[in-house]
A = this chain, B = another copy of it.
Amino acid sequence: MTRVVLRIDFDDERYIGHGRIELLEYIDEFGSIAKAAKAMGMSYKRAWYLAESINSTFKEPVVTRQHGGKGGGSAGLTALGKTVVKEYRAMEAGVLKTYAKSLKTMEKALGPKKQFQA
């Protein structure tokens, strides 16, 4: 099943891509950066850093955090965070629909599935 993955490059240092959107969705779902990190198979530190990077991309926070104890506190998305996720997913779904014919043309030309052999 063909997927089209988007990366939106606002400029040479600020972007939103598939991994960042997935992290935001998990934070929204679990209310926790630690749990979102676990779901994505990444370290808490990496998820925290990513959340900070996404926050610093926009003029308002996308991820909010309440500091807690050893459990790491809770986290969630702001209205802006939810908008960014929604717009991204709408674009992704729209692209698949709009370019179904182009994708079909390419799919028809695909060879058998195999590992590349040098």
Give chain A's interface residues, CB within 8 Å of chain B: 1-11, 13-14, 16, 49, 52-53, 56-60, 80, 83-84, 87, 90-91, 94-95, 98-99, 102-103, 105-107, 109-118
In the assembled complex, the Cα of A16 lies from the Cα of B102 at a distance in Å of: 13
Given the interface contacts A87-B106, A91-B95, does A117 sit within 8 Å of B14 by beta carbon? Answer: no
One complex includes copies of this chain to the number of 2
> CB within 8 A of A10: which of B49, B58, B106, B116?
B106
In the assembled complex, the Cα of A59 lies from the Cα of B115 at a distance in Å of: 14
Nearest-CB residue, chain B, relative to A61 = B111
In the assembled complex, the Cα of A113 lies from the Cα of B11 at a distance in Å of: 9
**Which of chain B's residues have a CB closer than 8 A to the CB of A1?**
11
